[in-house]
Structure 1
Amino acid sequence: MKKAHLLKAMDMGINTHHEPVIYMREDCEICRSEGFSANSRLQLEYADSSIIATLNIVDNPVLPKGYAGLSKIALQRLAIQAGDTIDIKQAPVVSSLAAVRKKIFGNRLSLDDFTGIITDISNHRYSDIEIASFLSVCAGSRLNLEEIIGLTLAMVNSGKRLSWPEHKQVFDKHCVGGLPGNRTTPIVVSIVSAGGLTIPKTSSRAITSPAGTADTLETITHVNLSLADMQRVVSQTGACLAWGGAVSLSPTDDLLIRIERALELDGEGQLIASVLSKKIAAGSTHVVIDVPVGETAKVRSHTDAQRLIDLFTQVGEACGLTVRCVLTDGSQPVGQGIGPVLEAQDLLAVLQNKPDAPTDLRDRALLLCAHLFDLAEQCGQQKGLEKATTILDSGAAWEQFQRIAEAQGGLKTPGKARYRHTERASRNGMLNAIDNRQLARLAKLAGAPSSAEAGLFLHTKVGEMVTTDSPVFTLHSQSKGELDYALAYYHQASIFSIKDTQ
């Protein structure tokens, strides 16, 4: 029987995000006897809990003899208190990493390969570097159709699944992203559920954008719902607006998203598997997917869009899900606000039928509703559009949104940014183009989505005339430093193109 290597736990007070870290002295006898070195992967055991952590070596004065330091997440996952004794071992071999290496050398992965990888990631056996390797080797167009299907099914099977036996059809919608301000989901959910469709909507937080739907909704209602809460809210209202990460539907996806966000990576196969695995796990039978196409959107050409649409449709069909993709204009941002609070103000304005509500956000939401009603009732898009418009104009959608929010814990009042700065046009002319990617980066540098109040408000749309007195956008930030940093970026970037009309 292998000798136990016991040390007392010490809280290092260090937040290492989601990757557990253990800190040991450079003269630690366990390190010497076992050959542990910095960056070794170790298995830590306490009572019935076990985790894998990355080793960091520290100078001797940092830790008393007989102690091992643990990061916050390591303490949390072990459910341990400072002073409790842990057993330290060499981490077991993670066999699924062989499949990752197989993919690195250009070989195809099977469903069993993906199941092993996703299971090990879900059980926190991969380091952040190993997760990044998996995501990178699957990025671009490196996964074929069968592999995307395998990845999708593996992700579905890694978590819980909802079923709605009392509902024959369950609907959902999604946008592939890349378009700042495109916050149609709460509007669509309110309209179609007011029209009789069942739509248990789970949404993600931002990956590479200044705001995800969950980030935006969190500023005006409660989105951290349990599965039981989701089922209760849907039973009461026919819909919900929940953060997917709180309900363990395809939970590995949230572990992957964390690394994707750091890499600013959103690969084709991973995107499809991420979207569809959550729809399937949520019990959806029909989904409409918004695919914005534009030179600076995520999908840049109609050729790329058609490939994505074909893959979405085929993967959905293989997994028992009816998918309809809708090509939309991705040439410029949607709405006026970019950032959680500012986007929430836009969607509330649309739902409340305010005169200054952004018409492009309203029209896009109604288009997606038309497709959902057509899927449900085979009524044709025009009839679907008429039904959606009537529901929105009558105030029924706003009443339904309030009903959903109340069932989820009530409405909240969004905060306001401490600092604001308005930039005016650099010259007279027509606003000819807006770079979506650079604009999103500008909003993120101002602090979004970490600071929910941060971001920017657009005063001008493409095709409108401007003068040097015209406000183009207003930056919102919670700190002067972030505001200045964002402005410095803006002045060296080329985000807004103004065309001389003389």
Structure 2
Amino acid sequence: MSLGSHSVMQGDNTLRAWRTGIDTYQEFVVYMRRDCPACRSEGFTTQARVLLSAAGQRSIVATLSVVEAEWLSSGDAGLSESAWAALGAQPGEPITVSHAPPLYSLSHVRAKVYGHKLGDTEFAEVISDVAAGRYSDLHLATFVTACAGDRLDLAETVSLTKAMIAAGDRIDWGRQPVVDKHCVGGLPGNRTTLLVVPIVAACGLTIPKTSSRAITSPAGTADTMEVLAPVDLDIASMRRAVERTGACIVWGGSVRLSPADDVLIRVERPLDLDSEGQLVASVLSKKAAAGSTHVLIDLPVGRTAKVRSEAAATSLGRRLQEVGAAIGLHVSLRLTDGEQPVGRGIGPALEARDVLAVLQGAANAPDDLRQRALCLAGDILEMGGVVPAGSGLTLANQVLADGRAWARFQDICAAQGGMREIPVAPHRQAVDAHASGRIVSVDNRVLARAAKLAGAPTAPAAGIDVHARLGEYVEKGQALFTLHSQAPGELAYAMSYVASRPPIFQISPTGESQ
């Protein structure tokens, strides 16, 4: 059935806008019939880049998919969900369709493909077009691949970082220092940000934290915080929260800070390409854009974490510090244990539960999460000049123990729209030890995958509760972890995945690594 039933509009390149309801994961896509006037007159074919213009000078560049079926009228242009939102069209509104202007910055991408080095001007032109939505996903994938591996040297990484900062907004807080932290990731349950921020803010430092949502993990910091309070704040609301409390924990996608990074991440993750240069540019561009002057980077090191060895952590840390210095950021590092999950919960609600337990001083609060957060907070307090070197951990401990951190966290939640109740999953099933012995390794990646199959982070109450730790002795049949799901089908799917894999927890009767 056609989306529209009116006669074809006047003008070969004028069509009616219709919302298709198709999710193309943020890529702008337009659907047009092969026999529509615009395709015939302009010679459009599938994968063409076309300029869509609506009233009031609104326009976007989209990738064309040609339709042969009858569900779309020859007088209509069907827009994907992301294209519909970006163009801001109304149903049936006339839009003009024309060839997109040529992208001269693609010559720089081609040069990079052939091994040439790019400078400030070239990266600025590429990133400007990326941020403006002028690149198709094919173009983006080419650029990401050309820069992957070791193909960005220090100078190029600095140029890319500067270009990504310049392509978006930049906040000036009118004060110094402004502190921040970032974890390079790869470790389930490592939700220290929600503890570090209130501890640091309670000591008088300014810490405006913009965080990401999960793309390939069971929960991002923004997903976990959203269980407890709104995170979808604009810059004005973010400013108000920081003025009231000295801090915020918001979703970075709701503020236009380093917007090109959000676009690049969209294609980096499915490609699963590791790129030290792009990681550094991604992290530091967002910190600089958020107005930070001092940043602490948490580098978890483990066999199934993102950073696999101390040598890799040292290399990445050096690059972070060198690029930070080049753009005016003071970067400090802390290498942490990445061999097993942090805390007990994996997934937004379960991680939020752990965070509140630590903040409230509950007897059953996970001590590894507490200690890791205290160390990071202590580093930031020293970095920000609140206490002399060596005294940060003591102050952080005091602020958490006497309730100041919990009080400040409640203030932050109130400033962002109010604290929420944590949801609980109705469906659960334990996974038991296959043998008696000592736990000698944990596969973080497979554990995270199981939590995702259980529904996390889309279903916020879904995930995994971990009951056993490295080095502990377990009996055969003892519960190692429990899957939580909001739907029985997802629970069965996750359980089937776990059963099909080698044991996530490796158990040795002798206690020696296998």
Could you say which TM-score interval applies, normalised by the shorter chain? Answer: over 0.9
Task: Report the Cα distance in structure 2 between the residues aligned to 1:29 and 1:229, rounded to whole angstroms.
Answer: 46
Structure 1 counterpart of 2:396, one-letter code: A
**Residue 334 (structure 2) aligns with:** 326
Task: Report the Cα distance in structure 1 between the residues aligned to 2:431 and 2:187, rounded to whole angstroms.
Answer: 21
* CA offset digits 1:162-203 (Å, max 9, x no partner): 1121x2211111111111110000100111111111111111
- 1:489 is paired with a residue whose SS is helix
* CA offset digits 1:409-443 (Å, max 9, x no partner): 11001212232111110010011110111211111
1:136 to 141, 145, 169: 145
Q: What root-mean-square deviation, in Å, do the aligned CA atoms of Structure 1 and Structure 2 show? A: 1.6
Structure 2 counterpart of 1:39, one-letter code: Q
Deviation at residue 378 of structure 1 after TM alignment: 7.3
Instruction: Tell me if the contact between 1:418 and 1:476 (Cα under 8 Å) persists in the aligned partners.
Output: yes
Q: For structure 2, which runs of at least 5 residues remain unmatched after alignment?
A: 1-10
**Residue 390 (structure 2) aligns with:** 382
Instruction: Tell me if the contact between 2:37 and 2:75 (Cα under 8 Å) persists in the aligned partners.
Output: no
Instruction: Tell me if the contact between 1:208 and 1:265 (Cα under 8 Å) persists in the aligned partners.
Output: no
Task: Report the Cα distance in structure 1 between the residues aligned to 2:90 and 2:347, rounded to whole angstroms.
Answer: 38
**Residue 151 (structure 1) aligns with:** 160
Q: What is the correspondence of 1:392-403 to structure 2 with a 5 Å cutoff? A: 392-403=400-411
Deviation at residue 87 of structure 1 after TM alignment: 1.3
Q: What is the correspondence of 1:154-165 to structure 2 with a 5 Å cutoff? A: 154-165=163-174
Instruction: Tell me if the contact between 1:27 and 1:60 (Cα under 8 Å) persists in the aligned partners.
Output: no
**Residue 268 (structure 1) aligns with:** 276
Query: Is residue 279 of structure 1 aligned with residue 281 of structure 2?
Result: no
- 2:291 is paired with a residue whose SS is coil
Instruction: Tell me if the contact between 1:180 and 1:210 (Cα under 8 Å) persists in the aligned partners.
Output: yes
1:26 to 30, 34, 37: 34
Task: Report the Cα distance in structure 2 between the residues aligned to 1:434 and 1:316, rounded to whole angstroms.
Answer: 34
* CA offset digits 1:454-479 (Å, max 9, x no partner): 11110000011101231100011222
Task: Report the Cα distance in structure 2 between the residues aligned to 1:297 and 1:65, rounded to whole angstroms.
Answer: 51
Instruction: Tell me if the contact between 1:170 and 1:285 (Cα under 8 Å) persists in the aligned partners.
Output: yes
CA gap 1:317/1:132 in 2 versus in 1, 3 angstroms: same
Deviation at residue 58 of structure 1 after TM alignment: 1.6
Task: Report the Cα distance in structure 2 between the residues aligned to 1:432 and 1:492, rounded to whole angstroms.
Answer: 21
Task: Report the Cα distance in structure 1 between the residues aligned to 2:273 and 2:405, rounded to whole angstroms.
Answer: 35
Q: What is the correspondence of 1:54-453 to structure 2 with a 5 Å cutoff? A: 54-59=63-68, 61-165=70-174, 167-377=175-385, 379-453=387-461
Instruction: Tell me if the contact between 2:14 and 2:95 (Cα under 8 Å) persists in the aligned partners.
Output: yes
Task: Report the Cα distance in structure 2 between the residues aligned to 1:378 and 1:82, rounded to whole angstroms.
Answer: 56
Q: For structure 1, which runs of at least 5 residues remain unmatched after alignment?
A: none
Structure 1 counterpart of 2:103, one-letter code: V
Structure 1 counterpart of 2:324, one-letter code: G
Structure 2 counterpart of 1:143, one-letter code: L
- 1:218 is paired with a residue whose SS is helix
Instruction: Tell me if the contact between 2:12 and 2:37 (Cα under 8 Å) persists in the aligned partners.
Output: no
**Residue 13 (structure 2) aligns with:** 5
Structure 2 counterpart of 1:437, one-letter code: R
Deviation at residue 310 of structure 1 after TM alignment: 0.5
- 1:377 is paired with a residue whose SS is coil
Task: Report the Cα distance in structure 2 between the residues aligned to 1:154 and 1:38, rounded to whole angstroms.
Answer: 31
**Residue 500 (structure 1) aligns with:** 509
Please give the TM-score of this superposition, normalised by the length of structure 1: 0.96
Structure 2 counterpart of 1:467, one-letter code: E
**Residue 3 (structure 2) aligns with:** none
Deviation at residue 4 of structure 1 after TM alignment: 5.9
- 2:215 is paired with a residue whose SS is coil
CA gap 1:373/1:69 in 2 versus in 1, 3 angstroms: closer
CA gap 1:266/1:448 in 2 versus in 1, 3 angstroms: farther
- 2:384 is paired with a residue whose SS is helix
Instruction: Among all aligned residue pairs of Structure 1 and Structure 2, give the percentage whose two residues are the same amino acid.
Output: 52
Task: Report the Cα distance in structure 2 between the residues aligned to 1:65 and 1:341, rounded to whole angstroms.
Answer: 47
Please give the TM-score of this superposition, normalised by the length of structure 2: 0.94
**Residue 485 (structure 2) aligns with:** 477
**Residue 16 (structure 1) aligns with:** 24
Task: Report the Cα distance in structure 2 between the residues aligned to 1:353 and 1:62, rounded to whole angstroms.
Answer: 59
Task: Report the Cα distance in structure 2 between the residues aligned to 1:199 and 1:113, rounded to whole angstroms.
Answer: 33
Q: Alignment length, in residue pairs?
A: 499
Task: Report the Cα distance in structure 2 between the residues aligned to 1:267 and 1:205, rounded to whole angstroms.
Answer: 20
- 1:129 is paired with a residue whose SS is helix
Deviation at residue 380 of structure 1 after TM alignment: 4.5
Instruction: Tell me if the contact between 1:26 and 1:60 (Cα under 8 Å) persists in the aligned partners.
Output: no
Instruction: Tell me if the contact between 2:228 and 2:421 (Cα under 8 Å) persists in the aligned partners.
Output: yes
Task: Report the Cα distance in structure 2 between the residues aligned to 1:323 and 1:101, rounded to whole angstroms.
Answer: 33
Structure 2 counterpart of 1:72, one-letter code: E
* CA offset digits 1:234-288 (Å, max 9, x no partner): 1111111111111111122222222233334452112111111111111111111
Structure 2 counterpart of 1:56, one-letter code: S
Task: Report the Cα distance in structure 2 between the residues aligned to 1:207 and 1:111, rounded to whole angstroms.
Answer: 30
